[in-house]
Chain A
Amino acid sequence: MNGGEQTILFENKPRVLSGYSIVGPKEAMGPLDPYFHKRLRKDDFGQKSYEKAECKLHMSAISGAIIAAGLTPKDIDVNIGGDLLNQIITSSFSARELDIAFVGMYSACSTFAQALIVGATLIDGGYVCRAACSTSSHFSTAERQYRYPLELGTQMTPTSQWTVTGAGCTLLGKEGSNIFVESATVGKVVDFGISDANNMGAAMAPAAAKTVEQHLKDTGREVDYYDYIVTGDLGIYGSRLFLELLESEGIHAAKNHKDCGEMIYDKRQRCPQGGSGAGCSSVVFNSYFLHHMRAGGIKRMLLVPTGALLSKLSSLQGETIPGIANAVSFAVEETC
């Protein structure tokens, strides 16, 4: 790749035109509530099924971002979207309504980074003018696909995470903003042998550590170059492992590391290790981080959404859980 072994350097600085986040009621009770653009009072969003609700969430995020940029769907060349459901039905069904060219994405909870990388690359190469990069997840659809029925009286294990109900969309374009996508590191699939599907933070932490390490190596940067290195949904425990792994490589990231999954819920909200899901990094980035980049509090950040690439079948067949992490770096252009 043009920026080293796994890193892409974007020469034409694809811009972040706008971002939009919409979340469910539980997320709105968390500490990031003031930053979200829209909150649902009920997470069925007035729909008959939770799958339909997630689809409406996804669509709302995309149209929200388009409106926030003062554009119409006609101005968008391509929607690059993904989610957690089988056959990514959420994103494709929302694209059915939107009448925008659609590219479907999947890399579990790392999908948001994947969408951003593809969108930024298309814009950087001059192939498209504007791309809407969107992801979503919904507690109640993920729960029934990956775990148990909602009403089954099971206990959450101490390492488990709560799937975020929410959708986020970032609108990328050629010009029109001082925030831009600067580089990206495409992750390798890493499996360190964790097999407990309720310990996803531990399954993903090695992938995140490897990607961050590779990114720093490819770009020749130190950790301090970034105001924040933000992982997607490692959770409290996964973050700890992530930092331990980097520490073993002599990289001290504890000072400027944040984790979206850790940030989105309060400790009192009974989500043992925090949030997860394809919507987790995208709602937190499009609300909290985009806000602080606009406000000037953050000049450079590395977003590293992490994904656990498992399915119910792979777990039942005794497979371990492979993880992936893709890194995207953002910077605010200095205006003089």
Chain B
Amino acid sequence: MLSKTEYLLLDKKIAPKSKEGRTLLLAFLVGGLICTVGQGVSDLFKLAVPGADQKLLGEITSSVMIFLGAALTGFGLYDRIGKYAGAGSIVPITGFANSVVSPAMEYRSEGMIFGVMCKMFVVAGPIIVSGVSSSIVVGLIYWLVGVLK
């Protein structure tokens, strides 16, 4: 029989690959579309709330997008989009919402506390931890640079 190394080489050689072109195109289209929707939301609020600053607009837009992602997940549509779009629906902030909402829904059967609340961040946890930690590091570096100057 083939040796382990030979077998792993064979696997590498003949394993079915993803259809590169198709997945990339779908990710591009869906990702672009989601961002365009975000721009639309932002522009609408710019009209509705004249004089709103960049920060407020950003906050409103991301909240609305997160709401949309959460709602689509609730209706069971987001994972269907994801099946085709791949990174196109993972990378936008709606994908972050999906990664928070989907475990919350999934673990509902284990109860409110130990199911929903405990498991809500099983997928998105790393995003919060790495994001917050790295931002603190950035802040500290900025502070250090200021002190040294």
* A and B touch in their complex, CB below 8 angstroms: yes
* Residues of A that sit less than 8 Å from B by CB: 48-51, 144, 148-159, 192-194, 199, 202, 206, 209-210, 213, 237, 240-241, 244-245, 248-249, 270, 272-273
Number of A-B contacts (CB under 8 A): 99
Complex alpha-carbon distance, A148 and B95, angstroms: 14
Complex alpha-carbon distance, A155 and B3, angstroms: 32
Produce 1/0 per residue, B57-95, CB < 8 A to A.
Answer: 000000000000000010010111111111001100001
A127 CB to closest chain B CB (Å) equals 36
Complex alpha-carbon distance, A54 and B80, angstroms: 24
Check A199 against B11 for contact (C-beta < 8 Å). Answer: yes
B78 CB to closest chain A CB (Å) equals 5
Check B10 against A151 for contact (C-beta < 8 Å). Answer: no
- What chain A residues lie within 8 Å of B79 (beta carbons)? 150-154
Check A248 against B18 for contact (C-beta < 8 Å). Answer: no
Check A152 against B123 for contact (C-beta < 8 Å). Answer: yes
Complex alpha-carbon distance, A26 and B148, angstroms: 65
Check A248 against B98 for contact (C-beta < 8 Å). Answer: no
The verdict on A159 contacting B15 (CB below 8 Å), with A149-B103, A206-B1, A245-B2 known, is: yes
6 shortest interchain CB distances as A-B pairs: A153-B82, A149-B106, A151-B102, A149-B102, A49-B109, A152-B102
- What chain B residues lie within 8 Å of A144 (beta carbons)? 106
A-B contact pairs, 13 of them (CB 8 A): A152-B102, A152-B123, A153-B79, A153-B81, A153-B95, A158-B15, A194-B8, A206-B7, A237-B14, A237-B16, A241-B11, A244-B10, A248-B1
Known pairs A151-B101, A154-B79, A194-B11; list 9 more (Cβ under 8 Å): A51-B109, A151-B78, A151-B105, A152-B123, A153-B79, A153-B95, A153-B98, A155-B86, A192-B8
Closest B residue, CB atoms, query A246: B1
Produce 1/0 per residue, B93-120, CB < 8 A to A.
Answer: 0010011011101110100000000000
- What chain B residues lie within 8 Å of A210 (beta carbons)? 1
Report the count of interface residues on B (CB-CB < 8 A).
38
- What chain B residues lie within 8 Å of A48 (beta carbons)? 109
B28 CB to closest chain A CB (Å) equals 15
Check A151 against B7 for contact (C-beta < 8 Å). Answer: no
B118 CB to closest chain A CB (Å) equals 14
- What chain A residues lie within 8 Å of B7 (beta carbons)? 192-193, 206, 241, 245
Complex alpha-carbon distance, A101 and B18, angstroms: 48
Closest A residue, CB atoms, query B17: A158
- What chain B residues lie within 8 Å of A248 (beta carbons)? 1-2
The verdict on A153 contacting B90 (CB below 8 Å), with A206-B1, A248-B1 known, is: yes
- What chain B residues lie within 8 Å of A199 (beta carbons)? 11, 15
Closest B residue, CB atoms, query A236: B16
A1 CB to closest chain B CB (Å) equals 21
Complex alpha-carbon distance, A193 and B15, angstroms: 15
Check A202 against B105 for contact (C-beta < 8 Å). Answer: no
A201 CB to closest chain B CB (Å) equals 10
Complex alpha-carbon distance, A240 and B14, angstroms: 9
- What chain A residues lie within 8 Å of B23 (beta carbons)? 155
B65 CB to closest chain A CB (Å) equals 14
Tell me if B4 is interfacial: C-beta within 8 Å of chain A: yes
Complex alpha-carbon distance, A114 and B86, angstroms: 38
- What chain B residues lie within 8 Å of A151 (beta carbons)? 73, 76, 78-79, 98, 101-102, 105-106
- What chain A residues lie within 8 Å of B81 (beta carbons)? 153
Closest A residue, CB atoms, query B104: A149
Closest A residue, CB atoms, query B78: A153
The verdict on A155 contacting B83 (CB below 8 Å), with A199-B11, A244-B10 known, is: yes
Max count, chain B CB within 10 A of own CB: residue among A151, A156, A157, A158: A151
